[in-house]
Amino acid sequence: MSHPMMPEATHDERAEQDFIRDLKIWLGEQLDPLQRQLVEATSCSVPDSHDLDIGPLRRKLLEHDAYRSWISVRRASQEMMWDAVGSSIDRQLESLTAKAAVSEPRGSVTLNPAFTPPRYIAALDVHMMPGGYAHARAEHLGQRVHYVQANAERTEFPDESFDFVFSCVLLQETSKAATRKIFEECDRLLRPGGVVIHCEVPPMEEGVWGKVICDFESLYNNESFWRGVQTLDLTAVMHDAGFTDVQRVFQGVTPRASRDAIKGFTERSTGVFRSWFMISARKS
């Protein structure tokens, strides 16, 4: 979906971004299967390697040059991706800032100067992104959207003031305690009969390989709660928050915004980056 707030890459920037994309694809298709073989072979000699705490297995794997190299290249490719995108945006920052200044906005952005981000954001993550860009994007697309910066655990909206609450890849950036509070807040905000939907990265596959990937994301890829949200029983948390009619489904990933996106839901995941996990519920 094209709009004036979309940064435009130069020829060289696009070439760099394409290279990093291809590198990440190559890692997934060529190196990951080899590391999986190493993980599964090593796990046979490590007691309790299928338990949630895979610390003993990790320490054994770190004895292998191939495993350490795999971690390093995976981490480096992620940093390269954000560095490449960031430098392109920095080059255009002045013009993007000028485009964001809409003289007669339809919507709004409400910021609270006294807002204190939760520690799992301020101390452990980098997702301190303001709503200014989202607001400017909506304005250029002709949409009236009102953005509010607030703590999802306890917003300042009145009770039963919404018919629909939606989050997208939010829970994995929080904590177990915060997830419970967020679900309770969704229940508070919804009117009777209202619907909540949380869209998240799908659960990793069962087995020791899935646990090793979660371990990597949590320890080496700045996804400190990835392992936590993957092991949390979100259905039970929904019920504890007071919701009924809880549904868990998956939807295929669409590479770009389009009205021709994949429609419908399935009961099985096709894997990370190929499907989204959805959990929804209705307030009684």
Annotation: CATH topology of 153-284: Rossmann fold (3.40.50)
Long-range pairs for 206-212: beta carbons < 8 A, 24 or more residues apart: 207/50, 208/39, 208/40, 208/43, 208/49, 208/50, 208/54, 208/57, 209/36, 209/39, 209/40, 211/50, 211/52, 211/54, 212/39, 212/54, 212/57, 212/58, 212/61
What pLDDT sits at residue 192? 96
In terms of residues, how long is the chain? 284
pLDDT digits 0-9 by tens, 43-63: 988 876 666 578 899 999 999
What pLDDT sits at residue 201? 86
What pLDDT sits at residue 260? 72
Q: What beta strand segments (E) does 87-189 contain?
A: 108-110, 146-148, 162-168
What pLDDT sits at residue 246? 95
The candidate with the shortest Cα–Cα distance to 127, out of 174, 88, 165, is 174
What pLDDT sits at residue 34? 96
What pLDDT sits at residue 129? 60
Q: Where in the chain is the domain with CATH 3.40.50.150?
A: 153-284
Residues of the chain with pLDDT under 70: 1, 48-52, 124-130, 255-259, 261
What pLDDT sits at residue 85? 93
What global pTM score does this model have? Answer: 0.86
What pLDDT sits at residue 32? 94
What pLDDT sits at residue 231? 83
Q: For residue 187, with 0-12 CB atoms within 10 Å meaning exposed, 13-18 middle and 19 or more buried, which class applies?
A: buried
What pLDDT sits at residue 120? 79
CB 262, CB 252: distance < 8 Å:
yes
- Please calculate the CA angle 80-84-85 and round it to the nearest 5 degrees: 120
